[in-house]
A and B are shown apart, each in its own frame.
Chain A
Amino acid sequence: DAGVIQSPRHEVTEMGQEVTLRCKPISGHNSLFWYRQTMMRGLELLIYFNNNVPIDDSGMPEDRFSAKMPNASFSTLKIQPSEPRDSAVYFCASSFTSGGFGQYFGPGTRLTVT
């Protein structure tokens, strides 16, 4: 059984460049979450989707961040332009929409912006 798939696993980019992170949720899950993890701020929810529709994007830091979910099996998180303070591990997670289930996290993308 494939879990949540994220790509790339590591990304190093220069300040000002566009970064796109990709996620494939577990088949059958209809909720998808994007998190950011840093030592200083811990695990923060950026945005989540139910049935491909964004439900809560209050955690998205600023307009430089955008997320899309064009279909049930794919989502992207884009940062444009990137800044050094965006350096973090970005996790995608998926779950069933009804509240009785846990979230299943992907392996994460470690982003470094120089």
Chain B
Amino acid sequence: GQQVMQIPQYQHVQEGEDFTTYCNSSTTLSNIQWYKQRPGGHPVFLIQLVKSGEVKKQKRLTFQFGEAKKNSPLHITATQTTDVGTYFCAGRVYGNKLVFGAGTILRVKS
């Protein structure tokens, strides 16, 4: 079945360093969404990418959708302590059904 994989599982960075998490799908996705979950919180929708090769930015966060629509990196420039949390990608399978990756846990040392 549809699988969405994320690497790394966990990353601990120094404040001010850059961070990248990678999302890869076993099949072509119609679109991909990114969510952030703070410790003890709930997933919060960040963004959706639809077009092949699409790049979107939200302040220090840059989201991309690969040309083949099977991968999506998320890059954070100059991490801050407020970036701490788990970042999930989710691929749309059909209709409204999303398949979530296992997430990348980001910890930031100040």
Query: Within the complex, what minimum Cβ distance (angstroms) separates A88 from chain B?
Result: 13
For chain B, which range describes its interface: under 10, 10 to 19, 20 to 34, or 35 or more residues? 20 to 34
Contact A95 B48 (CB under 8 A): no
Residues of A contacting B95 in the complex (Cβ-Cβ under 8 angstroms): 50, 55-56, 99
Contact B45 A106 (CB under 8 A): no
Contact A31 B33 (CB under 8 A): no
Name B's interface SS.
Answer: strand
Contact B96 A99 (CB under 8 A): yes
- Total contacting residues, chain A, CB less than 8 A: 23
Query: How would residues 24 to 42 of chain A score, 1 for a CB under 8 Å from any chain B CB and 0 otherwise?
Result: 0000000101000000001
Contact A107 B42 (CB under 8 A): yes
Query: How would residues 95 to 114 of chain A score, 1 for a CB under 8 Å from any chain B CB and 0 otherwise?
Result: 10101111111111000000
Q: Is B44 an interface residue (CB 8 A)?
A: yes
Contact A56 B97 (CB under 8 A): yes
Measured CB to CB, the nearest residue on chain B to A108 is B42
CB contact list, B5-41 vs A, under 8 A: 30-31, 33, 35, 41
Residues of B contacting A103 in the complex (Cβ-Cβ under 8 angstroms): 33, 43, 45, 98
Residues of B contacting A108 in the complex (Cβ-Cβ under 8 angstroms): 42
15 A-B pairs with CB atoms under 8 Å apart are A43-B100, A43-B103, A45-B99, A45-B100, A48-B96, A50-B95, A55-B97, A91-B43, A97-B96, A99-B31, A100-B48, A103-B33, A103-B43, A105-B44, A107-B41
Chain B interface (Cβ < 8 Å from any Cβ of A) = 30-31, 33, 35, 41-48, 50, 88, 92, 95-103
